[in-house]
Amino acid sequence: MKALVAVKRVVDFNVKVRVKADKSGVETAGVKMSMNPFDEIGVEEALRLKEKGAVEEVVAVSLGVAQCQETIRTALAMGADRGILVETDAELQPLAVAKLLKAVVLEEKPGLVILGKQAIDDDCNQTGQMLAALLGWPQATFASKLVIADGHAEVTREVDGGLETIRIVLPAILTTDLRLNEPRYASLPNIMKAKRKPIATVTPESLGVDVAPRLKTLKVEEPPKRQGGKKVGSVAELVDKLKNEARVI
């Protein structure tokens, strides 16, 4: 079985994002970019399946500008076998990404597609579910444990009330949650090796997918600032303030 992992290039999670003065978006020029953390967990899970013998090949797919190659290289350095870049300068929204991934899936025929549950830039939490819908495949979202056996996946999911375990037929879509695993670091020899691994490049046009955005971003603004920073000297003073000033207890 082949595993396909989608990896998104996003503003690094340590960067404090700034809204652009013209309100057209957030500043990304000169900002450190990294693989979406949930996608790193996805790559790690695919690699573990390969190490256990449940998967023969791990293919990393990224979609977007030419620099997404770097994100694919990160996945290759972790241990993925090859990459596919769907290259475009166009803005890609989750529905378009799901359509592009569907085209790649129909070509590659993986038994499992792993995606992060959400990207930490747009926080949409949609693409995996949309891809599952378009393929007519089952979905196991917010996964914290995965066991593959007999053409099925048994997946434990993080849900609002605790944990839930479902069993789905393969091929299927999995989206990762934080506790699924702890991604490995790429070793220097593996980073060198990754440079020689193949990355194929395709385009939305070559895949025949219309990626026109359905949502128009009218503006992006900073949220109202909270006026915090006041300190109190004692617990008695705190309780007094909560009772008599804030009136919340």
Residues with Cβ within 8 Å of 222's Cβ and at least 6 positions away in sequence, in order, are: 19
* CA distances to 239, 246, 248 from 235, in Å: 6, 15, 16
Q: Give the nearer residue to another protein in terms of CB position, either 140 or 194.
A: 140
Does position 214 interact with another protein (CB under 8 A)? The reply is: yes
Contact indicator for 142, 163 with CB cutoff of 8 Å: no
Does position 149 interact with another protein (CB under 8 A)? The reply is: no
Q: Give the nearer residue to another protein in terms of CB position, either 195 or 226.
A: 226
Stretch that binds another protein, among 1-9, 58-66, 84-92, 128-136 (CB under 8 A): 128-136
Contact indicator for 43, 60 with CB cutoff of 8 Å: yes
Q: How far is the CB of 22 from another protein (least distance, A)?
A: 13
Does position 162 interact with another protein (CB under 8 A)? The reply is: yes
Residues with Cβ within 8 Å of 210's Cβ and at least 6 positions away in sequence, in order, are: 96, 99, 204
Among 93, 197, 202, 211, binds another protein (CB under 8 A): 93
Burial class (CB in 10 A: 0-12, 13-18, 19+), 108: middle
Q: How far is the CB of 71 from another protein (least distance, A)?
A: 18
Residues from 178 through 197 that contact another protein (CB under 8 A): 178-179
Using CB under 8 A as the binding criterion, the count of chain residues that bind another protein stands at 81
Stretch that binds another protein, among 61-69, 73-81, 103-111, 118-126 (CB under 8 A): 118-126
Q: How far is the CB of 190 from another protein (least distance, A)?
A: 25
Residues from 12 through 71 that contact another protein (CB under 8 A): 13, 16-17, 19, 26, 38
Contact indicator for 105, 4 with CB cutoff of 8 Å: yes
Q: For residue 167, what are its two tokens? A: 């069993």
